[in-house]
């Protein structure tokens, strides 16, 4: 399978619809008028991924005050994400399951690691006009800095 190039700032966001840990459907197109933080993580039940998803949950109100919905995404299944969310105490942040077709959303955003079978660790911010406003790929063992994301969202929009 040919890897898509990594999506870039200014690109049109690639639409998708995925189930979350509660089997509810999250559709990117239904987030009209909001920014969306797509926080990709390799796998559930790993320490850095757990810290990354907990930071989304802990920052939820701040992100909402900035007009932003945050979601976590990985290749794990709905039952796996449900057990993990319950274990971590994540009650409000959607943890999306890019399970089947395996890694499809990560592939369309160009961040699927074919050799590993999971996505890069990455944050992608989609603006209110469905354009990519921010893309950052992190080393797998590094926790993304939520303060960096909040600072980016607080900056005035440029035209």
Please write the tens of the pLDDT for every residue from 48-87: 999 999 999 999 999 999 999 999 999 999 999 999 999 9
User: pLDDT for 101-128, tens place per residue?
Assistant: 999 999 999 999 999 999 999 999 999 9
| 32, 50, 66, 138 from 62: Cα distances, Å | 19, 19, 7, 22
Q: Which domains does the chain have, with CATH numbers?
A: 17-154 (3.40.30.10)
User: DSSP secondary structure string, 43-101?
Assistant: -TTSHHHHHHHHHHHHTHHHHHHTTEEEEEEES--HHHHHHHHHHHT--SS-EEE-TTT
The residues pairing with 35 across neighbouring beta strands, listed in sequence order, are: 68
Residue with tokens 């794990």: 76
Is the pTM value of this prediction over 0.85?
yes
Q: What is the rounded CA–CA span in Å between residue 73 and residue 106?
A: 9
pLDDT at 3: 56
């Amino acid at each position: 399978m040919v890897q898509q190039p990594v999506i870039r700032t200014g690109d049109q966001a690639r639409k998708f619809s995925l189930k979350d840990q509660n089997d509810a459907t999250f559709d990117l197109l239904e987030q009209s008028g909001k920014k969306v933080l797509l926080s990709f993580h390799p796998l559930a039940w790993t320490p850095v991924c757990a810290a990354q998803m907990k930071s989304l949950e802990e920052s939820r109100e701040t992100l909402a005050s900035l007009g932003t919905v945050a979601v976590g995404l990985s290749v794990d299944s709905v039952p796996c994400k449900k057990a993990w969310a319950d274990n971590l105490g994540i009650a409000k942040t959607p943890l999306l399951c890019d399970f089947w077709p395996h890694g499809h959303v990560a592939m369309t955003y160009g961040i699927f690691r074919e050799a590993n079978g999971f996505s890069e660790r990455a944050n992608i911010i989609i603006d209110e006009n469905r354009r990519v406003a921010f893309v950052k790929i992190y080393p797998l063992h590094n926790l993304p800095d939520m303060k960096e994301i909040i600072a980016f969202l607080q900056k005035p929009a440029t035209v």
